[in-house]
Amino acid sequence: MLPFIAKRLVRLVATLLAVSFLTFLLVNLLPGDAINALIPIDAQQDREFVEQVREEWGLNDPMIVRYGRWLGDAVQGNFGDSIVTSRTVSSEITHRLPVTAELMIVTVLFSVMLAIPLGVMAAYREGSRVDQVISGMAQLFLSIPGFVAGLLMIYIFAMKLGWLPATGWNRFSNGLLDNLKTVILPALSLALIEIAVYTRVVRSDVMNTLQENYVLSARAKGLGNRYILFRHCLRPSSLTLITVVGLNIGTLLGGTVVVEFLFAMPGLGKRLLDAIFQRDFMMVQGITVLIATIYVLVNTAVDLIYMVVDPRIRKAD
């Protein structure tokens, strides 16, 4: 167990170094100049002032030097300041991360909790009307992009029915119910595709598991169908689901950018988008490294969950 975690830590550090360097490189390659964000265009006539600001922000140093400086600070927990808001990147992130994290957690929980019963039901009644309806819905959800789903949700639930607010965000501290009200629609827009993908994954895995001999022997013992499905089939059928959920965290993070924009949520995704447009390189750098960290941590957690689910993996590792 301990060597496993040590191995993973080394991998995390290596990933972060690579990701942060590549991001630095990419932002550097983008056309446009950070100076535009620092000084208004009309004030840029003053060459001396521009030069002074460039020197101050270290924009004149070679890229590798700037990266080294960023890395040195970052190791000490200082991720620099945003060029646009002049707040520190860390405070900006701690302010916005909870919004995105909540959105993602609600989305994942919601879609997994819905996909498991749907997938199991479709697999158990393979080829039946129930299966056709579930599989058909999955197909439909799969072909609706998040922003279309978001617009539809706003139209139906916010404008027509008036059940939920169309945009905005209530912090957790404002009360759980108000908080939930603002997270439901964005999470649902993101969840549609997730539900579709997970339902199909669960369906096909459970269908395979149902062919296993141990399912036949469970039946021959006279156990009930529901017991067999949920106490014998579900665990062996969940390995693919866990993998896909872990890998999908990346896609989901991408999805939050669009959805946070659509629902005007003060989350990280929207902030990242703004930062890229404004050439706010410190901000881009900070958020990217954070996302990479989350991604690596989630997938390490996935590997740990494997061991919990399948005792044979525990032994092998």
Nearer to another protein, 77 or 222 (CB): 222
Taking the complex as a whole, how short is the minimal distance between the CB of residue 202 and another protein, in angstroms?
Answer: 16
Q: Smallest gap, in angstroms, from Cβ of residue 136 to another protein?
A: 20
* Residue (160 or 315) nearer to another protein, CB: 315
Q: Is 125 in the site for another protein (CB under 8 A)?
A: no
129 near another protein (CB under 8 A): no
- Pick between residue 13 and residue 216 the one whose CB is nearest to another protein: 216
Between 129 and 312, name the residue whose CB sits nearer to another protein.
312
* Closer CB to another protein, 3 or 222, in the complex: 222
Residues in 191-250 that interact with another protein by CB under 8 A? 212-214, 216-224, 227, 231-232, 235-236
Number of residues that bind another protein (CB under 8 A): 23
> Is residue 310 part of the contact set for another protein (CB under 8 A)?
yes
Q: Got the DSSP string for the chain?
A: -HHHHHHHHHHHHHHHHHHHHHHHHHHHHSSS-THHHHS-GGGGG-HHHHHHHHHHHTTTS-HHHHHHHHHHHHHTT---B-TTT-SBHHHHHHHHHHHHHHHHHHHHHHHHHHHHHHHHHHHHTTTSHHHHHHHHHHHHHHTS-HHHHHHHHIIIIIIIS--S-SS----GGG-HHHHHHHHHHHHHHHHHHHHHHHHHHHHHHHHHHHTSHHHHHHHHTT--HHHIIIIIITTTT-HHHHHHHHHHHHHHHHHHHHHHHHTT--SHHHHHHHHHHTT-HHHHHHHHHHHHHHHHHHHHHHHHHHHHH-HHHHHH-
Residue 131 in contact with another protein, rule: CB under 8 A: no
- Smallest gap from residue 214 Cβ to another protein (A): 4
61 in contact with another protein (CB under 8 A): no
Which residues make up the interface to another protein (CB under 8 A)? 127, 212-214, 216-224, 227, 231-232, 235-236, 309-312, 315
